[in-house]
């Protein structure tokens, strides 16, 4: 089984899909604003609201995912693309896992075969 890919962009997108409200100061990435722009450049709509900073007179943008069905689906597709997941990959992996289980059970084409040592 392959290891799931991850990045700051994928983590931010997963949090937005989980209905979290984020700002650039919430993230450990050096410049989280670049990730929000990347999402917008890929057609994902964000709701952005200016909020006052807690410790000074400045402001920051609080961002959340626009909860329209098509936008959520677009965000989920983009996340899968970032993770390297697609239907062909999933199908190929499922076939390989089935083949491995058959070999492990010494069954090929429904017939039990003796395992030979070489």
What is the per-residue DSSP string for 37-54? HHHHHTT--EEEEEEE-S
Q: What is the mean pLDDT of residues 69-95?
A: 79
The CATH code for residues 8-106 is: 1.10.10
**Rounded to two decimals, what is the model's pTM?**
0.65
Q: What is the pLDDT of residues 25-52, one digit of tens each?
A: 766 666 777 889 999 999 999 999 999 9
Q: What is the pLDDT of residues 101-117, one digit of tens each?
A: 444 544 444 444 444 44
Whole-Å CA distances, 83 to 5, 6, 10: 5, 7, 8
Q: What is the pLDDT of residue 91?
A: 45
76 vs 116, more confident: 76
Q: Residue 88's pLDDT band (boundaries 50, 70, 90)?
A: low
53 vs 29, more confident: 53
Q: What is the pLDDT of residue 34?
A: 84
């Amino acid at each position: 089984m392959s290891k799931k890919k991850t990045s700051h962009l994928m983590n931010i997108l997963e949090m937005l899909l989980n209905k979290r409200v984020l700002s650039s100061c919430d993230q450990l990435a050096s410049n989280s604003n670049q990730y929000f722009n990347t999402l917008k450049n890929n057609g994902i709509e964000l709701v952005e609201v200016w909020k006052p900073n807690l410790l000074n007179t400045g402001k920051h943008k609080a961002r959340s995912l626009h909860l329209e069905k098509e936008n959520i689906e677009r965000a989920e597709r983009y996340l899968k693309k970032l993770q390297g997941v697609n239907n062909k990959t999933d199908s190929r992996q499922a076939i390989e896992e089935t083949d491995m289980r058959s070999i492990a059970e010494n069954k090929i084409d429904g017939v039990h075969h003796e395992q030979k040592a070489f």
